[in-house]
Amino acid sequence: MDASAQKAVGTVIGGIAVVGVVLSIPLLTGFWVSVDAGHVGVLKTMGAVNTQELPPGFHFKTPMMDDVVQIDTRLKSFEVRAAAASKDLQTVETTISVQHSIGPNMAAECYQTVGDLDKIDLTVVAPAVQESLKAITAKYTAEELVTKRETVKQMVTEAIKAYIGHTLSEKKLDGAVMIANVAITDFDFSKEFNLSIEAKVKAEQQALQAKNEKERRITEAEAAAREKELAADAAAYQIRKESIERAQAIQREANALSQNPNLVQLRAVEKWDGELPTFSGGGAMPFINLPEMQRRHVADTKTKEVH
């Protein structure tokens, strides 16, 4: 065989070898599978699910017969925009986020019965959020949803967990979904309700301000009245005191007059201006018997000195 013929044969053999290698690659890869971290592998043989999960890492499988579905077991957050009605028929909306994951030991059964976590969110978690929110908010008025916000959120959270747990239990998937947390944003109401709340708050503030102003005025009026009362009491006390003093002075003078009758005439003499009173048709009328009065006064004085 000449050189050109050998070269042609070598080329053909090389081509066949390359084609063989290329064709053998899928066949070789059909013997094994690698499960990513944060996942478990669900082995399906001819479409039937094997309930034994494959942990992360390298695994052999039967080509053309086995297929491995990787199920994400990492924590995932699923948000639901939910709407409901309050007890007084006010529309309330909120966003509820459920942080959850599939239990690695239940991934195969969960996949066989419901599906992966995305399917679980649509068929289990979303209905749980909607129904729980409706059930709880229907027990409260819109105003109570605002004033008792934390209590309502706690009740909604417990209702969601109970709903998911009950649904999974009916499907014999207890523990298939692990709920880490349920976060609820603030409740949103209609524009009309928000305006009514603002008006009510404003009215309450104005009423409180008016009440405080009224109480201030009453306090000031009571203080002024009390001040006048104290002043009147002081004046009355002063008048009463002066009256008592005058009465006591009059009583003392009356006692002195009763003990010394001539004192009246003496006082009259002390106040006499020296002129005798006159009367019609006659001359001066004697005002008092001065000699007799003086005699009695001297006699009384001596008698007191003797005693």
Helices assigned H by DSSP within 171-289: 191-259, 262-271
Radius of gyration, alpha carbons of the chain: 58
pLDDT band at 14 (very low <50, low <70, confident <90, very high): low
pLDDT digits (tens, 9 = 90+) for 175-224: 899 999 999 988 888 887 867 777 777 787 888 888 888 888 888 888 88
User: How far is the C-alpha of 121 from the C-alpha of 168, rounded, in Å?
Assistant: 12
DSSP-assigned letter for residue 284: B
- Asked if 21 and 3 count as a contact pair (C-beta separation under 8 A), the reply is no
Angle, alpha carbons 56-58-59 (nearest 5°): 105
* 48 bridge partner residues: 45
Which backbone phi and psi does 240 adopt, to 5 degrees?
-65, -40
Task: Judge whether residue 148 has pLDDT over 70.
Answer: yes
Q: How far is CA 115 from CA 109, 122, 127, 191, 218, in A?
A: 9, 10, 16, 41, 73
CA torsion 293-294-299-301 (nearest 10°) is: 110
Report pLDDT for 5.
53
How much is the average pLDDT of 238-261? Answer: 78
At residue 165, the 3 state secondary structure works out as helix
pLDDT band at 23 (very low <50, low <70, confident <90, very high): very low
Look up residue 164 and give its two tokens. Answer: 């998911």
Helices assigned H by DSSP within the chain: 3-29, 107-113, 117-120, 126-137, 142-147, 149-170, 191-259, 262-271, 290-306
Report pLDDT for 18.
45
For the chain, what are the domain ranges? 19-71, 73-189, 272-306
pLDDT digits (tens, 9 = 90+) for 108-136: 999 999 999 999 999 999 999 999 999 99
Report pLDDT for 262.
65
Upper half-sphere CA count for residue 35 (Cβ side, 13 Å): 23
* 178 bridge partner residues: 101
Report pLDDT for 104.
93
How much is the average pLDDT of 82-103? Answer: 92
Sheet with 66-72: strands ordered across: 48-54, 39-45, 66-72
27 vs 67, higher pLDDT: 67
In 3D space, the residue among 112, 131, 32, 30 whose CA is nearest the CA of residue 71 turns out to be: 112
Weakest-pLDDT range from 199-203, 213-217, 253-257, 287-291 = 287-291
Task: Judge whether residue 48 has pLDDT over 80.
Answer: yes
Report pLDDT for 26.
45
Report pLDDT for 27.
47
For all residues of the chain together, what is the average pLDDT? 80
Q: Which position has the token pair 């708050």?
A: 201
Cβ atoms within 10 Å, residue 92: 22
Report pLDDT for 2.
58
Regarding the domain delimited by 73-189, which CATH topology (the fold level of the hierarchy) does it fall under?
Answer: Tetrahydropterin Synthase; Chain A (3.30.479)
Task: Judge whether residue 28 has pLDDT over 70.
Answer: no
Report pLDDT for 273.
61
**104: which residues sit within 8 A by CB, 6+ positions away?**
40, 53, 55, 73
pLDDT band at 30 (very low <50, low <70, confident <90, very high): confident
List strand residue ranges (DSSP E) for 56-103, in order.
57-60, 66-72, 76-85, 91-102
